[in-house]
Structure 1
Amino acid sequence: MGTSKKSRMDNSLKNTKVSLYFYFLILATTFFSRKAFIDILGIELLGLNTAITNLLAFLNLTELGIGTAVSFALYKPLFDHDKKSIQEIISVQGWLYKNIALLITAIGIILMLLFPFILKKLDLPIWYAYATFITFLFSSLLGYFVNYKQIILSADQKQYKLTLITKGLMLLKLAGQIGVLYLSPWGYHAWLAIEVAFSILTALALEWVVYRNYPWLKTSFKLGKDTYKKYSTILSKTKQLFFHRMSGFILNQTSPLIIYAYTTLTLVAIYGNYMLIVSGIISLLTSVFSGIIPGIGNLIAEGNKDSVRRVFREYFACRMLAAAAVSYCLWISGNAFVSLWVGKDYILNDFAFSLIVIITFLNITRVCDDFLMAYGLFKDIWAPIAEAITNLGLSILLGYFFSLRGILSGVLISLVLFLLIWKPYFLHRHGLCIPVIGYYIRYMGYILSFATSAWATCTLLGRINPDAVFSWQDWILLSAQHLIIFTSISYLILFAWDKGIRYFSNRIVKRIKRI
C-alpha cells in the first residue's frame, strides 16, 4: 500500500483515464435524460426534482466531513501498511455514519411533515414530492449504512475501481430511466423505481469490490465505538470540517432554494439546466484531477517539502489553464448549447450567464482546497462561518432587489473574499510555509494572460451567436475552433513566463518518452 513516486504517477494516470472515459459517456446520457424528462414530464416536475435534491444536500450536512477526516487519517497507515489501524479507523467511520444515518432519518421525517408549507406554491400533486424525497433519502442512507468502507479505495489511490462500479451502474441507470420515460405507461413511477433498484445494486457492488481488494478488512460498528477515542484526530478534524461543509453547502446548494423563494420553479429549472452544464464541466476537471489528490496526501506523508512545493506550482499552473479553457468555452458557446438542447425560451440573460461563468471558473481553480485537505488543515473555522454569512446574507439581500443576478452576485463576492484571498494565505502560512505574495502575483498573471487570449481569440473568430447556430455540427465546429485557438495562445503565453507550466510540460514529455 505504500506508494513510490512512479506508482503515484501510474495510479493517478489510471484514475484519470477511467474517470474521463465514463465522464464523456455519462455526460451525453445525462443531457439526453434531462431533455427527455422535460419533454415528457414537464419543467415543473424537473424544478421539484431540483428543489428536493437541494433539501437532501442540506440533510447530508450532518455527515460533518467525517469522510474527509477519515481519508486524511488513512494516508499514513496506508503508507506504513498498518492494517490494524486501517480497520479501526474505518470502523470508527462506520460507527459514526450509523448514528448520522439515524439522525438523517429523523430529520427527513420532520421535513416531510412540513412539505405542505415548504412547497405551498407547488402545482403538482403533493405525492410527487413525497415519493421523490423518500427515493433519494433511501439512496443516501445506503451510503451511510453499507458503503462507508469504500473510502479505503480512494485513499489508497484506487479511485478508478470505484469509478468503474459507480459510473458504470449510473450509465445503465440513466439509460433505463430514459427507456421507461419513452416506453413505459407508468412514467415517473418507473423512473423512481429504477432509482431505488440501482441504489441497492450499487451498494452491493461496492461491498464486493472492497472485499475483493481488501479481504483482510474486517470492520464493525462495535469496534468503532470501542476505539473512537483512540483516534481523537478524526473527531477534531470532523468538528472543524463541519463548518467548511456548511459553507460549501450554502455556496453550492442554497441558490435554487432562494431562487424559488423569490421566483418560480420554472426559473429554478432553467437555472438547473445551466447548473447541469456547469456540473458537467466541473466533473470533467474532477475526472482529470481527482486521481492526483490522494497522491498529494501520499507525497506529504513522505515529508519532502521541496517536492510538495514544486508539485503545488505545477498543479496550480495546469489547473488554471484547464479552468480558463473550459470557462472560456462555456462563455462563448454556452447559450448556443442551451438553445439547441432545450430551446431558446430557456436561455438566461447575458449578465446572469456571465456571473455563472465567473463563478464556475473560480470553483474550478480550488487548488488550495485540495492541498489544505491533503495537509488536514481545517482549523480556520471562523473563515467558513464568515463565508457562509457573507454568501447567504448577500444572496438574500441582493436577490430581493435584483432576483437571479443579485443571488449570483452574492455568491461571487463571497468567493472572491475567501477563495481568492484567505485560503491561499492560510495554506502558504501553515502548509507550504512560504510567502503567499508569489501566489497572488501568479494568479493575476494568469488572469491577464487568459484575458489576452480571450481577446485575441474573439478578434480572430468573433462571438458565437445562439441565433446563428443551426445544428449540433455547427456548434461543435465553432466551439472546437475557439477551444483550440484559446488554449494554444494561453499555453504559449504561460510557457513564456511561468515555471509551473514548464515544470508540468517537462513531466509530460518525460512520461511520453518512457512510453
Structure 2
Amino acid sequence: MMNESRSYKSLLNAQIGLIFYLVTLALSFVSRKIFLDNLGVEFIGLTGTLTNILGFLNLAEFGIGSAISFFLYKPLQIADRGRISELISIFGYVYRKIGCMIGAGGIVVSLFFPLIFKQTPMEFGIIYFVFYCYLGSSLIGYFINYRQVLLTADQKNYIVTAYFQTASIIKTLVQILLAWYFKNLFIWISIEFLFSIISCLILNWKIDKEYPWLKSNLSDGKRLLEKNPRLFVYTRQIFIHKIKDFLLNRSDEIMIFAFVSLKMVAYYGNYTLIITKINQIISTALDNVSAGVGQLIAEGDQQKIMKVFWELTAIRYFIAGVVVFGLFHLLPPFITLWLGSKYLLGQSVLILLMITVFVMQTRGVVDIFNHAHGLYADVWTAWVEGVVNLAVTITAAYYLGIAGVLLGKIASILPIIVFWKPYYLFSTGFKLPVKVYWKQTIRYYFLFAVVFFLFTLLSRWVPFKPERNFGNLIGYACLTVLPFTFCYFFLLLFGATGMKDFLGRFFQLVQLLKNKFCR
C-alpha cells in the first residue's frame, strides 16, 4: 500500500503539473513576444541579468532545504509529527537568518550597480527598482514560505504547483495587458512583486489546512539545531554542491553579459526559455518521484530499489533523446517564425546546447538516488567542476562568445556527471560494481546515437520547409520527430533494461487514477 501511495502521488504530481505546464507554455511564448516588442530587448536582458545576480545572493540558502528534505523522509514514513515539527522549526529559524543575510547582501551589491551597468543604456532608476522588487520577492519566501519544504518531501508538490502556477498565469495575463496599453516598466515589475506576496500568503493558508497539527516554533529553532549535528554536516556538503550547480546552470547570462553584450543575453534567453519550459515539464513528470525514492530507500528493499532505478533511467534516456532530437531540428525554425531570423544564434551554439541538455537530463536519476542515500561527501567534485567551468569559460568566451560559455559547462560536467557520480552511487549507495551501471547505460547511448544520425539524414528528404510558416513546421515535425520517437521507444523497449517495467507500472497507475476519479 505504501508503494502504491508513492506511485499514485508521483503520477498525481505529474498530472497537475502537466495541466499547468500546457497553459503556461503557450502563455510564455505569447508574453515573451509582447514584452520584447513593448518593453524592449534591453529591459528583458536586464531582468535576466538581475535575476542571476540575485541568484548568487541566494547561494546562502543552498543546502539547508535539501538537508531538511532528506531528514523528513523517515519521519513522514512513520508519521512522527513531533519530529516533523522540530525539523520545520529548525528550517524556519535558519531561513530567517539566511533571509537577513540575503537582504543585507542585496543592499551591498546594489551599491556597485553604477560600475556593473555603466555601459547599459537603461536608467539607473529602473535598474534599482527592478532589483529591489526581485529581492523583496525572494525574501518573502525566506520569512513566510519556508514550510513549503514539507509539501515537497511529502510528495504533495501538486499543491505548490496549483497555487503558484495559478498566480503566475494571472500575473502574466495582467502584465501582458498593462505592457500592451501602458508600455511602462515600473508597472510591469510592480505586478511581479505584488503577485509574489499574494501567492505566498495563499500557499501558507493551504499548508495550515493540510497540516493542522504542524507546530513550528522559530524561537526554539536554534536549540533544536544544536541537537541535530548531522544537519550541519549534510548542509555544508550540499551547500558546496549547490554552489557548483548554480555556476553551471545560472551563470550563463552573467558570463554572456560580461564577454558579449546585454543584447545577446536576451537572444540567448530566447533559446533557454524554450529549453527551460521543456525541462520544467520533464521535472514535473519525473523529479516528483524524488520524495518517493527517499521513502523507498528508507524501507531498504534492494531488489525493489534497483528495479525502480532502471525504470526511471530508461524513461529519462527516452525523454532526453526525443527532446534533443526535436530541439535540434525544430528550435531554429521556431525562433525564426516566433521572433524573426535576426534572433538566431549559430549552429555551433545549438550543437553545444543540445549536448548540455542531453547530459543534464540523463543525470537526473543518479542525482535523485544519490540524494535519497544522502551521498554528498564528494565535495571535491564540486570544486573541480566549478574551477574547470570558470577556467574554460573565461578563456573560451573571450574568443568564441556564447559558444565559449557552453564549452566551459560541457568541459566541467562530462568527467564528473557522466563518470564519477554513477560510480559514487553504485559503489557507496547500492554497494554494487559500477560495471553493472555501464553494462546497461552503454546501450542507451548507442541506441540514441544510431537513431539520431539515421533520422537526421532522412530529414533532408522531408518536403516541408519549417522556416516558412507554422504549418510547414508542424508537417516537418510530424515527419521527423514522431517517427524518431516511435523508433527510439521500441529500440529501448526491446534493447535496454527498464522500459518494459516502466510501461507496466504506468498502465497500472493510469488504471488506478481512472478507478479513483470515476467512482
TM-score by length of 1: 0.96
Q: 1:321 corresponds to which residue?
A: 318
Q: Which amino acid aligns with 1:193?
A: S
Q: Which amino acid aligns with 1:188?
A: L
**What RMSD, in angstroms, separates the aligned Cα atoms of the two structures?**
1.6
Q: 1:278 corresponds to which residue?
A: 275
- Specify which of 123, 141, 159 is matched with residue 161 of structure 1: 159
Q: Which amino acid aligns with 1:506?
A: G
Q: CA deviation at 1:478?
A: 2.0
Contact 1:333 1:464 in 2 (8 A): no
Q: 1:104 corresponds to which residue?
A: 102
Q: 1:413 corresponds to which residue?
A: 411
- Specify which of 240, 258, 273 is matched with residue 237 of structure 2: 240
Provide the secondary structure at the position in 2 that maps to 1:215. Answer: coil
Aligned-partner Cα distance in 1 for 2:213–2:500: 44
Q: Which amino acid aligns with 2:171?
A: K
Contact 2:75 2:81 in 1 (8 A): yes
Q: CA deviation at 1:512?
A: 5.1
Q: Which amino acid aligns with 1:77?
A: P
Equivalent positions of 1:442-457 (< 5 A) are 442-457=440-455
Contact 1:147 1:207 in 2 (8 A): yes
1:391 aligns with 2:389: yes
- Number of matched pairs: 512
Equivalent positions of 1:127-276 (< 5 A) are 127-183=125-181, 185=182, 187-276=184-273
Provide the secondary structure at the position in 2 that maps to 1:462. Answer: helix
Choose 223-232 or 272-281, whichever is displaced more.
223-232
Q: CA deviation at 1:430?
A: 1.1
Q: CA deviation at 1:513?
A: 5.9
- Specify which of 485, 493, 496 is matched with residue 483 of structure 2: 485
Q: 1:43 corresponds to which residue?
A: 41
Q: 1:295 corresponds to which residue?
A: 292
Contact 1:88 1:227 in 2 (8 A): yes
Going from structure 1 to structure 2, the CA distance change for 1:487 and 1:466 (only over 3 Å counts) comes to: closer
Provide the secondary structure at the position in 2 that maps to 1:377. Answer: coil
Q: CA deviation at 1:36?
A: 0.9
Q: Which amino acid aligns with 1:369?
A: D
Q: 1:126 corresponds to which residue?
A: 124
- Specify which of 345, 356, 367 is matched with residue 353 of structure 2: 356
Q: 2:517 corresponds to which residue?
A: none
Provide the secondary structure at the position in 1 that maps to 2:213. Answer: coil
Q: CA deviation at 1:246?
A: 0.7
Provide the secondary structure at the position in 2 that maps to 1:148. Answer: coil
Aligned-partner Cα distance in 1 for 2:172–2:235: 34
Contact 2:333 2:467 in 1 (8 A): yes
Query: For residues 31-59 of structure 1, what are the alpha-carbon distances to aligned partners after superposition, in whole Å with 9 as ceiling and x for unaligned?
Result: 21111111011111111111101101111
Q: 1:4 corresponds to which residue?
A: 2
- Specify which of 312, 317, 337 is matched with residue 334 of structure 2: 337
Contact 1:89 1:231 in 2 (8 A): no
Aligned-partner Cα distance in 2 for 1:408–1:456: 26
Q: CA deviation at 1:506?
A: 2.5
Going from structure 1 to structure 2, the CA distance change for 1:391 and 1:27 (only over 3 Å counts) comes to: same
TM-score by length of 2: 0.96
Q: 1:57 corresponds to which residue?
A: 55
Contact 2:462 2:479 in 1 (8 A): no
Contact 2:444 2:496 in 1 (8 A): no
Q: Which amino acid aligns with 2:430?
A: L
Aligned-partner Cα distance in 1 for 2:112–2:453: 51
Provide the secondary structure at the position in 2 that maps to 1:147. Answer: coil
Query: For residues 337-361 of structure 1, what are the alpha-carbon distances to aligned partners after superposition, in whole Å with 9 as ceiling and x for unaligned?
Result: 1111111001011011110111011
Q: CA deviation at 1:474?
A: 2.3
Q: CA deviation at 1:463?
A: 7.8
Q: Which amino acid aligns with 1:89?
A: L
Q: CA deviation at 1:465?
A: 11
5+ long unaligned stretches in structure 2: 515-519
Aligned-partner Cα distance in 2 for 1:425–1:217: 39
Aligned-partner Cα distance in 2 for 1:24–1:428: 37
Aligned-partner Cα distance in 1 for 2:462–2:125: 43
Aligned-partner Cα distance in 1 for 2:185–2:479: 40
Aligned-partner Cα distance in 1 for 2:508–2:265: 48
Contact 1:64 1:239 in 2 (8 A): no
Q: CA deviation at 1:186?
A: 5.7
Query: For residues 63-110 of structure 1, what are the alpha-carbon distances to aligned partners after superposition, in whole Å with 9 as ceiling and x for unaligned?
Result: 022111100010001111111110010010000000100000111001
Going from structure 1 to structure 2, the CA distance change for 1:11 and 1:512 (only over 3 Å counts) comes to: closer
Q: CA deviation at 1:295?
A: 0.8
Aligned-partner Cα distance in 2 for 1:375–1:460: 44
Aligned-partner Cα distance in 2 for 1:76–1:465: 57
Contact 1:94 1:224 in 2 (8 A): yes
Q: CA deviation at 1:504?
A: 1.3
Q: CA deviation at 1:441?
A: 3.5
Contact 1:336 1:465 in 2 (8 A): no
Going from structure 1 to structure 2, the CA distance change for 1:224 and 1:464 (only over 3 Å counts) comes to: farther
Q: CA deviation at 1:226?
A: 2.0
Q: Which amino acid aligns with 2:346?
A: N
Q: Which amino acid aligns with 2:199?
A: T
Q: 2:343 corresponds to which residue?
A: 346
5+ long unaligned stretches in structure 1: none
Q: Which amino acid aligns with 1:228?
A: L
Aligned-partner Cα distance in 2 for 1:104–1:471: 47
Equivalent positions of 1:23-38 (< 5 A) are 23-38=21-36
Q: Which amino acid aligns with 1:144?
A: Y
Q: CA deviation at 1:462?
A: 2.6
Q: CA deviation at 1:467?
A: 6.7
Aligned-partner Cα distance in 2 for 1:279–1:34: 14
1:432 aligns with 2:450: no
Aligned-partner Cα distance in 2 for 1:228–1:509: 44
Q: CA deviation at 1:480?
A: 3.5
Aligned-partner Cα distance in 2 for 1:6–1:339: 46
Provide the secondary structure at the position in 2 that maps to 1:435. Answer: coil
Provide the secondary structure at the position in 2 that maps to 1:360. Answer: helix
Q: Which amino acid aligns with 1:306?
A: Q
Q: CA deviation at 1:471?
A: 2.1
Q: CA deviation at 1:511?
A: 4.1
Q: Which amino acid aligns with 2:48?
A: T
Aligned-partner Cα distance in 2 for 1:342–1:174: 19
Query: For residues 104-131 of structure 1, what are the alpha-carbon distances to aligned partners after superposition, in whole Å with 9 as ceiling and x for unaligned?
Result: 0111001110000111111111112101
Aligned-partner Cα distance in 2 for 1:29–1:465: 30
Contact 1:15 1:160 in 2 (8 A): yes
Contact 1:259 1:267 in 2 (8 A): yes
